[in-house]
């Protein structure tokens, strides 16, 4: 077809095809955004509770089946109530975002980092021994000390994280027991004065 032989119908067809392409791209992006929101916590951008439990089941089953090690860190932002009460919930949200940012930065590519409650976070570490989990936990605590949370007004309230660490195969052979033993260790950290790491000690029966 030579120059000048295009008709208005050709242009209408081209416009229709272009419009359809734009709509398809927009629909794809909307689907990707919805899919991401279904997996992540809106405030922190970390994985949400639902995705965390799914991955915990998956990673625990894999570790048990192939006789591999796995570590779970449960963390509690100790200062959230104080920040909420003294500076307001907006600042409390910023504290959670601060902790989430540090966790994401300290995590390895293979780690699964999630927010699992109001002030609780979790890190699943595949192919990791409990000793390695302890090192990771202490690094997280140290980083928070070095980079403390500051409110928008410049105040630096006392904030820290308490951590419980549990692992497969030493403390559990199921995801439920792994979570329970890590949660128990986290409780001991908080009971002992917060801002510390506790390793689960009792072997949880299968």
- For 28-38, how does the pLDDT look when each residue is reduced to its tens digit (9 = 90+)? 343 334 444 57
71 and 27, same structural domain? Answer: no
Tell me if 64 is assigned to some domain: yes
184 and 131, same structural domain? Answer: yes
DSSP H/E element including 4: none
Q: Summarize the confidence of residues 1-14 as an average pLDDT.
A: 63
Locate 186 and state its tokens.
Answer: 């986290």
Q: Please give the positions annotated as active site.
A: 119
Tell me if 81 is assigned to some domain: yes
161 and 80, same structural domain? Answer: yes
162 and 68, same structural domain? Answer: yes
Q: What's the CATH code of the domain at 154?
A: 3.30.70.270
Structural domain including 90 reads 49-199
Q: Comparing 31-45, 55-69, 83-97, 125-139, which segment has the lowest mean pLDDT?
A: 31-45
91 and 158, same structural domain? Answer: yes
Around 60, how many Cα atoms within 13 Å sit in the side-chain half-sphere?
22
Tell me if 44 is assigned to some domain: no
Average pLDDT, the chain: 88
120 and 31, same structural domain? Answer: no
Contact 134, 199 (CB under 8 A): yes
Report the C-alpha gap between 187 and 131 in whole angstroms: 19
Reported pTM: 0.81
Please choose, from the candidates 154, 153, 124, 140, the residue with its C-alpha nearest in 3D space to the C-alpha of residue 55: 124
State the total domains in the chain: 2
Locate 106 and state its tokens.
Answer: 């300290």
């Amino acid at each position: 077809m030579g120059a000048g032989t295009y008709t208005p119908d050709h242009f209408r067809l081209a416009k229709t095809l272009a419009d359809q392409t734009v709509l398809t791209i927009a629909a794809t992006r909307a689907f990707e955004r919805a899919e991401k929101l279904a997996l992540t916590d809106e405030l922190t951008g970390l994985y949400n509770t639902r995705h965390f439990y799914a991955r915990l089941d998956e990673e625990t089953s894999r570790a048990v089946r192939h006789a591999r090690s796995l570590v779970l860190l449960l963390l509690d932002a100790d200062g959230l109530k104080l920040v909420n009460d003294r500076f307001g919930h907006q600042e409390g949200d910023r504290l959670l975002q601060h902790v989430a940012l540090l966790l994401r930065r300290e995590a390895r590519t293979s780690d699964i980092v999630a927010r699992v409650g109001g002030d609780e976070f979790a890190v699943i570490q595949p192919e990791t021994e409990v000793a390695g989990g302890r090192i990771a936990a202490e690094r997280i605590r140290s980083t928070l000390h070095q980079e403390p949370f500051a409110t928008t007004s410049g105040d630096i309230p006392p904030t820290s994280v308490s951590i419980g660490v549990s692992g497969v195969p030493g403390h559990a052979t199921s995801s439920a027991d792994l979570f329970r033993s890590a949660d128990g260790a986290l409780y001991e950290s908080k009971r002992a004065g917060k801002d510390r790491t506790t390793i689960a000690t009792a072997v949880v029966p299968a």
